[in-house]
Structure 1
């Protein structure tokens, strides 16, 4: 005779008791989507490593990859021990920081639910955001930072900059969310603006690369850059649509807006290159797509498809000019973290104040949809507060690390290349390496001379 086993027999006892008590249960469809979205966002960091790795010279490729990959490990440890609790725990200080109730992920058992998904899954999804935000900063100081100093910087920065800003924007009782009422659907403030402002601060701490504004420093591997950009674009659907925290219409709208803005960002950047330089470039296409994706991140859940197209186009055009500001203002943002992520994040966050629709937000509307200037003012205050906090704390932290251990690699290490001097490895057995490296018939491939990087050619 066939025996039917109750479904609850396969569940942990805590879940059985919770269901019998009528506690909320996670929705399986929403959970499945967020599991997939979490994996997509985690993939973005290896994608970023390839994107950045292709943009540097061959003598520092592995170092660039390592700065992204080590960020995964460092931020994960920080997030699981204290970061999640301080970001998403109940407010403990007037909207500025969360409490310590979930240190070490305490209290996040299998029966704990956040909305319609398991809380532990929500915490993991948010962890992937923290990881890529830290990794983004590395592009601003490529080719010249000590790896050991970076390992010290990342966990401290995550606790002092990323975690508080995340609580302000998304945490229970956060002042930007609850008191100010500014909107940020998927991370324009805690991800894009914090990484961009922090990158600018570290640029100033470390100073320019050897040969800045004298030597052109072209990407050594454009196919790698495009592959990295493609992986970033792919992962960005999890980043933005996953922020709906459910398999629903809002996720679908954010998904489409993400695709649309990436496309118009790409086209806008190419249009500027064609008009200004006479030729559209592969690097420009990849950079334009990323700029559009950056800008739509905060607004993908607030604007219609038309708004998304405008947001992406604006970012593609403005960011294509912004990457050249470093030559006029004399800060060496190696891989244009400031020009793309800070500027793009500001554009996307502010344009919410113009294009937000009540059909998307449920309450707030921008200037062009009958909401007046109120929402734009809120967005402006949020942008200023986050940018100032990220820049000031990062600058002080960078100076402290530089004073205690030194943040910048030596001149010899920079000229030879960080791959060989720091990691005792080279990316290529047969190839040419970066400008300024010693060249001899007996020298390893990692110490020979490479093409320069076009994006760093002064305008």
Structure 2
């Protein structure tokens, strides 16, 4: 895995440095996207759940996560060895492909960070922050890291054994976060007033800004996964742009036809749905395939977000409807639209490849989805019994910003009557009239 420093390509390294920064920016972008979608009383809590994930996952990744995910296989294709625990042996002179290994490890770290942060959207407004601080490291080690090894690690059973394809993270990022979000929805139960009270996004400009930052960062996410400044990265870059566009248009088409009104939230959500779906398939499909993948995700996900009302699970910010469903769509459609010019070999059903690749993609989707759901459900139940995962009813009604963080996102309520910011004690802040 480690090779001579002479193999480092400066162009590839420069591009991956930029891509790593782009992917890290996606987590603050996600914080704004999620923060705008919640009510004013829990904006800061939503931002904090994303931002604290950066710190928590980084510590876990450096300690053991990278080694377990990308170290040599320990046997059976299930997990790596701990030879690089604490980043042992990953110095400036070691090389992964044509880039420094330490840069590759950092690039992959940014993937792990945003995947953990994605899960928070499913339990917005009602999770104990202290429980989240414990959940994230456990989840990263027990869910994300093994799946990353299966899909991308040396000897991983999905990569080397099954032969399923996933260029940039449909399985370890999108399906894992979506299935885990569903599990936590069931552990915590619905928000107070679910299906009764209006729970509209409080700041749509913030949502659009967050979606724009996500889209911007997604070019690093997908094109950076080529691990080089080359033609494949360029093709993936264009596929990513195209799918985001058709996802946006597909969602708006459904809204116009179904509701009579194309919405700002729908445009942002549709773009994200298209980007989610193209993530696994961006390095496998042609430009035409990318357009179809994005459109399919925009249309299907626009309907999927309403399933929670019929099935009575409270996926607050549509992690299941967008990331799980979009990830499944993108991963499965590799088996339909994969082309040899992108994959270097395997082709999908639409290009004469038969059903073999589609079958492999289906097995990978079911295995990863089931694993993520079951393990996350177990972690959630354990934490709920040990320290409680659901916020107190009074805190949830008042808002987690005031009761947990002793802050308000906007200059109103306690801070709107002349009190200087930070001057109120937590006990007095908790008595403030909750904001809608």
Shorter-chain TM range is over 0.9
Q: Which moved more, 1:402-411 or 1:23-32?
A: 23-32
Query: What is the CA–CA distance in structure 2 between the aligned matches of 1:241 and 1:325, rounded to whole Å?
Result: 32
Shift of 1:370: 1.1
Matched, 1:152 2:138: no
**Conservation of the 8 A alpha-carbon contact between 2:41 and 2:399:** yes
Q: In terms of Rg, which structure is larger?
A: 1
Query: What is the CA–CA distance in structure 1 between the aligned matches of 2:431 and 2:295, rounded to whole Å?
Result: 41
Partner of residue 382, structure 1: 364
Query: What is the CA–CA distance in structure 2 between the aligned matches of 1:106 and 1:171, rounded to whole Å?
Result: 17
RMSD (Å), alpha carbons: 1.6
Residue of structure 1 aligned with 2:322, choices 340, 354, 364:
340
**Conservation of the 8 A alpha-carbon contact between 2:397 and 2:434:** no
**Conservation of the 8 A alpha-carbon contact between 1:430 and 1:445:** no
Q: Mapping of 1:104-115 within 5 angstroms?
A: 104-115=86-97
Matched, 1:250 2:232: yes
**Conservation of the 8 A alpha-carbon contact between 2:246 and 2:294:** yes
Matched, 1:44 2:30: no
Query: What is the CA–CA distance in structure 2 between the aligned matches of 1:297 and 1:342, rounded to whole Å?
Result: 12
Partner of residue 13, structure 1: none
Partner of residue 309, structure 1: 291
Query: What is the CA–CA distance in structure 2 between the aligned matches of 1:216 and 1:265, rounded to whole Å?
Result: 26
- Tell me the SS of whatever aligns to 2:42: helix
Matched, 1:118 2:100: yes
Query: What is the CA–CA distance in structure 2 between the aligned matches of 1:417 and 1:430, rounded to whole Å?
Result: 14
- Tell me the SS of whatever aligns to 1:179: helix
Matched, 1:201 2:183: yes
Q: Mapping of 1:219-258 within 5 angstroms?
A: 219-258=201-240
TM-score (norm 2): 0.95
Partner of residue 425, structure 2: none
Q: Which 4+ stretches in 1 moved above 3 angstroms?
A: 442-449
Partner of residue 433, structure 2: 447
1:312-366 deviation line (CA, Å, top 9, x unaligned): 0000000000000000000000000000000000000000000000000001000
Ranges in structure 2 where 5+ consecutive residues have no aligned partner: 415-427
Query: What is the CA–CA distance in structure 2 between the aligned matches of 1:53 and 1:371, rounded to whole Å?
Result: 44
Query: What is the CA–CA distance in structure 2 between the aligned matches of 1:23 and 1:193, rounded to whole Å?
Result: 36
Ranges in structure 1 where 5+ consecutive residues have no aligned partner: 1-17, 433-441, 451-459
Partner of residue 409, structure 1: 391
Partner of residue 6, structure 1: none
Partner of residue 186, structure 1: 168
Going from structure 1 to structure 2, the CA distance change for 1:137 and 1:446 (only over 3 Å counts) comes to farther
Query: What is the CA–CA distance in structure 1 between the aligned matches of 2:82 and 2:432, rounded to whole Å?
Result: 47
Partner of residue 407, structure 2: 425
Query: What is the CA–CA distance in structure 2 between the aligned matches of 1:446 and 1:108, rounded to whole Å?
Result: 51
1:7-51 deviation line (CA, Å, top 9, x unaligned): xxxxxxxxxxx9xxx764210000000000000000000000000
Shift of 1:444: 8.7
Query: What is the CA–CA distance in structure 2 between the aligned matches of 1:207 and 1:446, rounded to whole Å?
Result: 26
TM-score (norm 1): 0.90
